[in-house]
Chains A and B, each alone.
Chain A
Amino acid sequence: MSRNSIKILQGALVCEESKLRGDITIGTGTIIHPSATILAEAGPIIIGDCCLIEEQVKIIHRLPFDQQDKENTPVLIIGSHNVFEVDCHVEAPKIGNYNVFESKSFVGNKVTVTNGCIIGAGCKVTQEQILKENVIIYGHDCHMREGLDRPGLQTLQMETLSKMLPNYHHIRKPNKKN
Chain B
Amino acid sequence: MAHVVGPEVVKYACTCGLLKSISSLYFCRYCCQLRCGFCVCHEVDSHFCGKCCENLPSSEARLKKNRCGNCYICPSCQQELSTRIGSKGPSNPEDPKSTPKKMYYLSCLYCRWSSRDVGIPDQSAATGGWPDRENVNANRLQEIIEMYKAMVLAEKQQKEKDKKKQRGKYLSYTDRTGVTAAALRKRIGLPVDIQHSLLKAKPKEPEPAIAKEDVEDLPEELLTKPVNLTEVTTIEQRLLQIDLQPTTVEKLFPVHKQLSIKRSLRCRSCEHNVSKPEYNPNSVKFKIQLFAYYHVPEIRIVTVEPLRAGRPSELIIKFTNPTQHQTTITILSLVLSGDENEVKEETGDQPSLPQEKQPPSLSSQPSSLLSLSSRQPSITIKPRPVSQEVNADVAIPSSKVILPPRDDAAEYDDSGDTHNIQDDPKLVVWRKSNKAFVKLLVTPKQGLALNTEIVAGFTMQHIYTNTIATTVENREPDKHDHNIRVFLTLGNLVGFD
Q: Is the CB of B111 within 8 A of A120?
A: yes
A 120-143 to B, binary, CB cutoff 8 A, 1 in contact else 0: 100000000000000110110001
Cβ–Cβ contact A144 & B230, under 8 A: yes
Contact check, A147 vs B112: say whether CB atoms are below 8 A apart.
yes
Q: Point out the residue from A120, A135, A145 that lies within 8 Å of B76, measured CB to CB.
A: A145
Give the distance in Å from the alpha carbon of A145 to the alpha carbon of B111 in the complex. Answer: 8
Q: Is A146 interfacial (CB 8 A cutoff)?
A: yes
- Interface extent on B, as a size class? 10 to 19
Task: Kindly state the separation between the CA atoms of A151 and B366 in the bound complex, as whole angstroms.
Answer: 73
Provide the bound-state CA to CA distance between A148 and B229, in Å: 16
Cβ of A118 under 8 Å from chain B: yes
Contact status A136-B229, CB under 8 Å: no
Interface residues of B in 218-234 (CB under 8 A from A): 229-231, 234
| A54 nearest CB across to chain B (Å) | 18
A118 to B114, CA, bound (A): 14
A residues contacting the other copy or chain, number (CB 8 A): 13
What is the CA–CA distance of A148 and B113 in the complex, to the nearest angstrom? 9
CA distance A151 to B84 in the complex (A): 14
CB of B424 closer than 8 Å to a CB of A: no
Contacting residues, chain A, for B117 (C-beta < 8 A): 147-148
Per the bound structure, the CA–CA distance linking A135 and B249 in Å amounts to 14
With contacts A144-B230, A145-B230, A145-B249 known, is A138 near B116, CB below 8 A?
A: no
Residue numbers in A under 8 Å from B114 (CB-CB): 148
Answer yes or no: B154 CB below 8 A from chain A CBs.
no
Q: Across the interface, do A146 and B116 meet the contact criterion of CB distance under 8 Å?
A: no
Query: In the complex the two chains form, is B112's CB within 8 Å of A143's CB?
Result: no
B91-114, CB under 8 A of A: which get 1 and which 0? 000000000000000000011111
Q: How far is the CB of A26 from chain B (nearest CB, A)?
A: 28
Q: Contact: B110 with A144, CB < 8 Å?
A: no
Contacts of B234 in A (CB 8 A): 143
Q: Which residues of A contact B77 (CB under 8 A)?
A: 138-139, 143
Contact indicator per residue, chain B 221-255, by CB within 8 Å of chain A (1) or not (0): 00000000111001000000000000001000000
The distance in angstroms between the C-alpha atoms of A146 and B248, with both chains bound, is 12
Contacts of B76 in A (CB 8 A): 145
Bound-state Cα–Cα, A173 to B245, Å: 58
CB-CB under 8 A for A138 and B111, given A143-B77, A145-B76, A148-B117: yes
List the B side residues contacting A151 at CB < 8 Å.
112
- Chain A, residue nearest B236 (CB): A143
Distance from A155 Cβ to chain B, minimum over Cβ atoms (Å): 15
The distance from the CB of B77 to the nearest CB of chain A, in whole angstroms, is: 6
A-chain residues with CB within 8 Å of residue B229 when the two chains form the complex = 144
A118 touches which of B112, B230, B231, B249 (Cβ 8 Å): B112
Whether the Cβ atoms of B111 and A136 lie closer than 8 Å is: yes
Q: Indicate whether A138 sits within 8 Å of B112 (C-beta atoms), given known contacts A143-B77, A145-B76, A145-B249.
A: yes
On A, residues with C-beta under 8 Å from B are 118, 120, 135-136, 138-139, 143-148, 151
A-B contact pairs, 24 of them (CB 8 A): A118-B112, A135-B230, A136-B112, A138-B77, A138-B110, A138-B111, A138-B112, A139-B77, A139-B111, A143-B77, A144-B230, A145-B76, A145-B111, A145-B113, A145-B230, A146-B230, A146-B231, A146-B249, A147-B112, A147-B117, A148-B114, A148-B116, A148-B117, A151-B112
12 new A-B pairs (CB below 8 Å) besides A143-B77, A148-B116, A151-B112? A120-B111, A136-B112, A138-B77, A138-B111, A143-B234, A144-B229, A145-B111, A146-B230, A146-B231, A147-B112, A147-B117, A148-B114
Interchain residue pairs A-B with the least CB separation, the first 8? A138-B111, A146-B230, A148-B117, A136-B112, A145-B230, A147-B112, A139-B77, A144-B230
- The chain B residues found within 8 Å of chain A, CB to CB, are 76-77, 110-114, 116-117, 229-231, 234, 249
